[in-house]
């Protein structure tokens, strides 16, 4: 192929430096060790892979990707007539090359927090959807002025913005190639340095240009002369598409125009404008919406991983109407920049390099290590290296080592091959006077090749380049260290936010100045309210916790004790370091019964049966169940297991056998705690114990000035729903859980679970019908007097704002279908749909006297102005106290409200129900219907039909051994969970609590 023809094509593949790879086979191909004075590297790259992020206080990543990123907002279409504008937006924003199926269709705006109404593009308005509008504001409780971590945009660009399509090479080049081509001197000379690029397809400028085409030779840009045959030259094609008028944003916010493509494009531009400056700051490492600096706060997590504290930034449309910028702390994991050998040792917990050689005799160890090293960027560090700054990417661990692999010697003067074949170790000794310390360790093969042949390096010479993100699952020790680092009190968090704000440098950002975007550096202070705190009613007294958000169980009887007197129950003791003799067990049983009776529990005079257990959990459950039944000549009502440690797999196996083999509820307790005999520990356990036996802990009593009376005018049902996903790399199915309230005040909840495909967030039609149908049918028999509920609240957790439309268009019709079927016709009740989310970056920092002693907002703090959505009904609610760190509110969005609640009626009810969570003496952060669904979806993993010998399939104890991305959906076909034993009705108890 001619040189001219080559230059006319897009390339971007790595420069030639080798041939066939020497993998783990018996006859490795002839290759090169690569410091050999060959062609210099043509570009560096950062390690590929996803990023493990924790934003704010350390959070788990149960929903796959983006453990610490915020999901944008979603639907509020006005009518089907808007489908045309939605299609226009989709055609502009869709970018299939970006982030795979998990990315929203509005990919070009994926870093922008837009109103929910923009995100029904996923379905292109297949069904017109209009969410409930804000009916007003809550007037109950106490008004306060509350600073939040948002900053108002005070001036928008007043100039015309010109948008361009950009194609670099063939349009699908690697991101690093696109970045280098765009940052080239050639490009800047053509369109000016102030032109903003989204890193993929779009660019914006203050200046109008016609169609521009030019070539960028990356080798010439690096001062190496023209690239050979144009291999590293790329065509850049910039095409003007439209003029943008940013005034459409305020027109939309003020209700003077409907949402359309122009508004979305304007917000997308502003987002990229704000990111352009910090993204080009060499001090900062950009990670989507967040920025990190090596000279900022960081900590060693162990295992060759460290965590950086950075700053998160996003722009939002908000009530007011206004635009605000949300700033928050972001925490992200990176590889430690160090030699490769210590990295492998620390990552695997090995002693010394000799253990590497020993462990790498096993193919599975090589594969596991190779998986996390693949595409990691390194440099070769040794005296005499003529390419010390060349960046290489690891491809694999070769089967050969420096003693066994031979290469052809080249004359140092002429560079010509002599025909002599020498080992890699001998090559370094002869060429560089370097005696390798560990020549028996496998060579590392790079992704680049040299003259068609693979490139290898001795492991000991490689150094990991700094600022490379670590995307795999953290182990238990790393997770604990991450939590310690990420959790910070409000004053420290605010200081970190201010540090991050100084990194971003809004006042000095040349792009913001040139385009005319100004942001107020002072926090938004919103008019919030502290809702009236409710009372907590027990059988014998009512507690008034006020704004403390907590109480105790001393001298209090449960509002509802167990339904049937406890007479047949057993205690099993696993062996271990805590030796419990029969006397100690008998004392525990007596104290436990005494405590339960003190709380109103009904227990017969029969002593419980107890025995030592087999170490195998499955056999232990069988033995205790049979022996207890034989002892009392009655089926066991509950079984207690005293365990020696917090082994998650051991716990799940106990639950699996109790739930699915024998149909009996169970309680697991720590033997060490039993030995201490702490009455408070017994009381805490007894809340769960009583719930599993059919009782309830307490009932909320609304304050006199609450907007909620505490009484439902019609038979009312709460439905909670959540879907939990497997650990990164796990093949476990996603678990859908649905809870249903099982009393008249929303205290007790039954739960059903089922597999829901692989990483499928929407609950399938089959699951909704098969789980919800029996639960509501049983509710009708036991609670509803044979009637269907007149009011249903659907509390949904775990969906991003980009999926709100799917909830309305997919899940809600399935709920209605169940209710229609049970009604033997059209269901005549009213449905209220509320989404509860904790995946956001809003934090509040109350003034002195408006918060608790740690500086967090008081329980009942409600935010519904200034930083909420411009039109839709959403609010942030603090309903709990923070035991540590900076508390985070729950973001509630009302998608549908057929009952037409007043703000006070719905908001106060949601807040007050957080005080009757069954197993706590504090108010909780999330409505119990959702909280219980989360518990049940995680517990359901114990119900998989998987042999115990296979070990953990996900979660604690699971070792990542798959390369599947957490964002990659697989087939929706998954094996169902084990069925419940027939006739025992355990599925209608609080088995999951």
> What proportion of the chain, given as a percentage, has pLDDT over 90?
72
Whether 48 maps to a domain, the answer reads no
SS3 of residue 244 by DSSP? strand
User: Residue 485: in which H helix or E strand, if any?
Assistant: helix 476-486
Does one domain contain both 452 and 573? no
Pick the last residue of a domain from 115, 130, 145.
Answer: 130
Average pLDDT over residues 713-731: 88
DSSP-derived 3-state class of residue 134: coil
Asked whether the bond before 321 is cis by omega within 30 degrees of 0, the reply is yes
The 10s digit of each residue's pLDDT in 614-632 is 999 999 999 999 999 999 9
Verify that 581 and 690 share a domain, yes or no.
Answer: yes
Please give the Cα distance from 551 to 543 (Å, whole number).
7
Query: In terms of C-beta density within 10 A (0-12 exposed, 13-18 middle, 19 or more buried), how is residue 618 classed?
Result: middle
613/691 same-domain check: yes
363 & 453 share domain: yes
Tell me which of 74, 101, 130 is where a domain ends. Answer: 130
Q: Are 169 and 12 in contact (CB under 8 A)?
A: yes
Least confident of 32-41, 670-679, 980-989: 32-41
Residue 577 within any structural domain of the chain? yes
pLDDT band of residue 859 (cuts 50, 70, 90) is very high
- What's the mean pLDDT in 85-95? 33
Phi, psi (5° rounding) for residue 514? Answer: -65, -40
CATH code (residue 607): 3.40.50.2300
CB 330 within 8 A of CB 499: no
Contact between 726 and 956 under an 8 Å Cβ cutoff? The reply is no
Q: Residue 671: pLDDT above 50?
A: yes
How far CA 913 is from CA of 319, 528, 542, 737, 980, in Å, comes to: 27, 20, 15, 20, 30
pLDDT tops 90 at residue 370? yes
Please give the distance of CA 434 from its chain centroid, rounded to a whole number: 47
Compare 104 and 466 and report the one with higher pLDDT. Answer: 466
Helix axes 617-632, 648-656, angle to 10 degrees: 40
pLDDT beyond 60 at 59: no
Q: Is-contact 872 108, C-beta < 8 A?
A: no
Is residue 469 helix, strand or coil?
strand
Decide if 50 contacts 484 (C-beta within 8 A): no
- The pLDDT assigned to 17 comes to 28
Handedness of CA 590, 592, 593, 597 (dihedral sign): positive
Q: Are 145 and 907 in contact (CB under 8 A)?
A: no
Answer yes or no: do 568 and 691 share one domain: yes
If residue 500 lies in a helix (H) or strand (E), which one and from where to where? helix 490-504
Q: Within a domain: residue 384?
A: yes
Number of domains in the chain: 3
Q: Report DSSP letters for 248-315, one per residue.
A: HHHHHHTTSS---HHHHHHHHHHHHHHHHHHHT-TTEEEETTEEEETTSSEEEEETTEEEEEEEEEEE
What Å distances lie between residue 674 and 363, 598, 643, 752, CA to CA?
A: 45, 18, 10, 31
Question: Are 608 and 669 within one domain?
Answer: yes
Domain limits at 102? 61-130
The 3-class SS string of 385-452 reads CCCCCCCEEEEEEEEEECCCCEEEEECCCCCCEEEEEEEHHHHHHHHHCCCCCCCCCEEEEEEEEECC
pLDDT at 81 over 50: no
State the pLDDT at residue 953.
54
Same domain for 648 and 603? yes
486-503 mean pLDDT: 96
Query: What is the per-residue pLDDT for 654?
Result: 96
Share of the chain above pLDDT 70, in %: 84
Paired residues of 739 in beta bridges? 720, 751
Tell me if 606 is assigned to some domain.
Answer: yes
For the chain, state the CA radius of gyration.
31
456: its two tokens: 């290898």
CB atoms under 10 Å from CB of 657, counted, come to 23
Residue 99 has pLDDT above 80, yes or no: no
- pLDDT (tens digit per residue) in 534-574: 999 999 999 999 999 999 999 999 999 998 999 999 999 99
Residue scoring higher pLDDT (850 or 9): 850
**Alpha-carbon gap, residue 570 to 516, rounded angstroms:** 73
Q: CA distances (Å), 851 to each of 146, 565, 881, 915, in order? A: 10, 45, 10, 19
- DSSP state letter for 227: P
Residues 565 and 690 in one domain: yes
Instruction: Evaluate whether 660 touches 980 at the Cβ level (below 8 Å).
Output: yes
pLDDT of 192: 86
pLDDT, averaged across the chain: 85
* Residues 146, 341: Cα–Cα separation, whole Å: 51
Residue 252 · residue 258 · CB < 8 Å: yes
Helix axes 490-504, 261-279, angle to 10 degrees: 90
What local confidence, expressed as pLDDT, does residue 130 receive?
Answer: 75
In a domain, 1, yes or no: no
Q: Which of 413, 444, 464 is the last residue of a domain?
A: 464
Residue 624 forms part of a structural domain: yes
Between 256-270, 361-375, 520-534, the lowest mean confidence (pLDDT) is in 256-270
Q: How many CA atoms lie within 13 A of 905 on its CB side?
A: 12
Cα dihedral: 584, 589, 590, 593 (round 10):
160
Ranked by mean pLDDT, which of 22-26, 105-109, 988-992 comes out on top?
988-992
For the record, the structure tokens of 484 come out as 């310690």
Would you say residue 796 lies in a domain? no
pLDDT at 23: 35
CA distances to 699, 774, 818 from 743, in Å: 11, 16, 20
CB 643 within 8 A of CB 577: no
pLDDT for the residue 27 = 36
Same domain, 32 and 93: no
Question: Cα-Cα-Cα-Cα dihedral of 914, 917, 919, 920, to 10°?
Answer: 20
Would the pLDDT of 680 be above 80? yes
- Same-domain status, 457 and 422: yes
pLDDT computed for residue 952 by the predictor: 53
Q: Do the bridges between strand 377-380 and strand 609-612 make them parallel or antiparallel, or are there none, so unpaired?
A: unpaired
Across 52-73, average pLDDT: 36
Q: Which of 906, 786, 900, 905 is nearest to 836 (CA)?
A: 906
Beta strands 150-155 and 890-897: pairing type?
unpaired
How many angstroms separate the CA atoms of 501 and 493, rounded?
12
Q: Is 8 in contact with 235 (CB distance < 8 Å)?
A: yes
46: pLDDT strictly greater than 60: no
Q: Which of 338, 257, 327 shows the shortest CA–CA distance to 300?
A: 338
Give phi and psi for 53, each to the nearest 5.
-120, 140
CATH number at residue 412: 2.170.260.10
Find where tokens 């996003």 sit: 314
CA distance 591 to 585: 10
| 400 and 358 in a common domain | yes
* Of 149-158, 460-469, 756-765, 785-794, minimum mean pLDDT range: 756-765
Is residue 168 over pLDDT 80?
A: yes
CA angle 356, 358, 359 (to 5 degrees): 65
Q: What is the C-alpha separation between 707 and 537, in angstroms, rounded? A: 19
Whether the CB-CB separation of 931 and 890 falls below 8 Å is answered with no
Cβ atoms of 723 and 734 closer than 8 Å: yes
In a domain, 372, yes or no: yes
Output DSSP code: residue 590.
H
| Tokens matching residue 606 | 């029969």
Contact 137/868 with Cβ under 8 angstroms? Answer: no
């Amino acid at each position: 192929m001619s040189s001219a023809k080559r230059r006319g094509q897009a390339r971007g593949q790595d420069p030639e430096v080798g041939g066939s790879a020497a993998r783990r086979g018996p006859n490795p191909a002839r290759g090169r060790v690569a410091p050999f004075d060959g062609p210099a590297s043509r570009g560096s790259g950062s390690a590929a892979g996803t990023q493990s992020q924790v934003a704010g206080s350390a959070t788990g990543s149960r929903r796959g990707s983006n453990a610490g990123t915020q999901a944008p907002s979603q639907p509020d279409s006005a009518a089907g007539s808007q489908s045309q504008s939605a299609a226009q937006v989709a055609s502009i924003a869709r970018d299939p090359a970006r982030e795979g199926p998990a990315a929203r269709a509005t990919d070009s705006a994926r870093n922008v927090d837009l109103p929910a109404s923009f995100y029904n593009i996923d379905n292109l308005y297949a069904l017109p959807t209009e969410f409930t509008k804000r009916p007003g504001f809550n007037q109950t409780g106490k008004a306060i002025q509350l600073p939040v971590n948002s900053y108002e945009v005070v001036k928008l660009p007043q100039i015309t913005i010109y948008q361009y399509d950009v194609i670099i090479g063939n349009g699908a080049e690697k991101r690093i190639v696109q970045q280098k081509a765009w940052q080239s001197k050639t490009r800047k000379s053509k369109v000016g340095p102030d032109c903003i690029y989204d890193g993929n397809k779009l660019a914006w400028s203050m200046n109008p240009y016609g169609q521009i085409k030019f070539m960028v030779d990356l080798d010439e840009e690096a001062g190496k002369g023209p690239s050979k045959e144009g291999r590293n030259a790329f065509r850049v094609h910039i095409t003007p598409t439209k003029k943008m008028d940013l005034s459409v944003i305020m027109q939309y916010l003020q209700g003077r125009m409907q949402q359309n493509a122009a508004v979305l494009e304007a917000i997308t531009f502003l987002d990229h404008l704000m990111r352009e400056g910090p993204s080009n700051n060499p001090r900062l490492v950009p990670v989507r919406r967040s920025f990190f600096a090596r000279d900022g706060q960081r900590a060693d997590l162990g295992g060759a991983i460290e965590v950086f504290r950075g700053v998160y930034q996003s722009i939002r449309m908000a009530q007011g109407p206004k635009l605000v910028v949300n700033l928050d702390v972001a925490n992200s994991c990176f590889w430690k920049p160090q030699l490769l050998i210590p990295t492998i040792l620390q990552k695997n917990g090995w002693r010394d390099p000799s253990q590497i050689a020993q462990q790498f005799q096993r193919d599975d160890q090589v594969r596991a290590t190779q998986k996390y090293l693949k595409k990691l960027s390194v440099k070769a560090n040794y005296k005499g290296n003529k390419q010390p700054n060349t960046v290489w990417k690891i491809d694999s661990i070769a089967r050969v080592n420096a003693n066994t692999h031979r290469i052809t010697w080249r004359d140092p003067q002429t560079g010509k091959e002599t025909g002599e074949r020498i080992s890699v170790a001998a090559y370094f000794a002869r060429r560089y006077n370097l005696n390798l310390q560990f020549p028996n360790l496998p060579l590392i093969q790079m992704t680049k090749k040299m003259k068609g042949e693979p490139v290898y390096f001795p492991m000991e010479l490689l150094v990991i380049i700094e600022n490379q993100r670590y995307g795999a699952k953290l182990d238990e020790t790393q997770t604990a260290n991450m939590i310690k680092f990420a959790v910070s009190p409000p004053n420290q968090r605010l200081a970190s936010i201010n540090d991050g704000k100084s990194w971003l440098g809004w006042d000095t950002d040349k792009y913001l100045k040139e385009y005319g975007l100004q942001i107020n550096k002072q926090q938004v202070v919103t008019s919030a309210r502290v809702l009236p705190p409710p009372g907590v009613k027990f059988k014998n007294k009512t507690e008034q916790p006020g704004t403390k958000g907590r109480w105790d169980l001393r001298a209090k009887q449960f509002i509802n004790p167990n339904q049937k007197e406890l007479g047949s129950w057993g205690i099993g003791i696993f062996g271990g370091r805590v030796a419990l003799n029969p006397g100690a067990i008998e004392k525990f049983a007596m104290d436990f019964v005494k405590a339960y009776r003190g709380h109103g529990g009904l227990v017969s005079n029969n002593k419980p049966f107890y025995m030592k257990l087999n170490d195998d959990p499955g056999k232990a459950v069988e033995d205790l169940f049979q022996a207890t039944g034989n002892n009392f000549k009655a089926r066991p009502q509950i079984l207690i297991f005293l365990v020696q440690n917090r082994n998650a797999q051991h716990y799940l196996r106990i639950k699996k056998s109790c739930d699915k083999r024998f149909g009996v509820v169970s309680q697991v307790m720590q033997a060490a705690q039993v030995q201490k005999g702490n009455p408070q520990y017994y009381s805490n356990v007894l809340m769960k114990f009583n719930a599993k036996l059919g009782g309830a802990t307490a009932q909320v009593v609304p304050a006199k000035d609450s907007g909620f009376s505490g009484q439902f005018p019609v038979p009312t049902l709460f439905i909670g729903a959540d879907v939990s996903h497997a650990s990164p790399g796990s093949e476990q199915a996603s678990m859908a859980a649905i809870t249903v309230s099982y009393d008249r005040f929303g205290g007790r909840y039954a739960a059903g679970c089922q597999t829901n495909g692989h990483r499928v967030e929407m609950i399938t039609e089959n699951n909704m019908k098969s789980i919800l149908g029996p639960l509501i049918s049983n509710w009708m028999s036991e609670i509803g007097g044979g009637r269907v509920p007149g009011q249903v609240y659907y509390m949904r957790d775990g969906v991003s704002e980009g999926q709100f439309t799917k909830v309305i268009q997919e899940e809600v019709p399935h709920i209605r279908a169940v209710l229609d079927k049970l009604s033997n016709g059209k269901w005549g009740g009213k449905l209220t749909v509320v989404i509860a989310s904790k995946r956001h970056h809003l934090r509040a920092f109350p003034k002195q006297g408006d918060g608790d002693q740690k500086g967090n907002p008081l329980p009942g703090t409600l935010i519904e102005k200034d930083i909420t959505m411009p039109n839709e009904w959403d609010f942030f609610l603090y309903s709990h106290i923070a035991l540590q760190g900076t508390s985070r509110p729950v973001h509630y969005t009302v998608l549908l409200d057929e009952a037409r609640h007043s703000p006070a009626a719905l908001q106060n009810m949601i807040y007050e129900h957080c005080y009757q969570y069954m197993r706590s003496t504090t108010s909780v952060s999330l409505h119990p219907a959702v909280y219980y669904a989360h518990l049940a979806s995680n517990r359901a993993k114990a119900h998989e039909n998987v042999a115990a010998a296979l070990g953990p399939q996900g979660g604690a104890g699971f070792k990542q051994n798959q390369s599947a991305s957490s964002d990659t959906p697989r087939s929706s076909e998954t094996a169902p969970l084990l069925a419940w034993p027939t006739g025992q009705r355990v599925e209608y108890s609080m088995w999951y609590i």
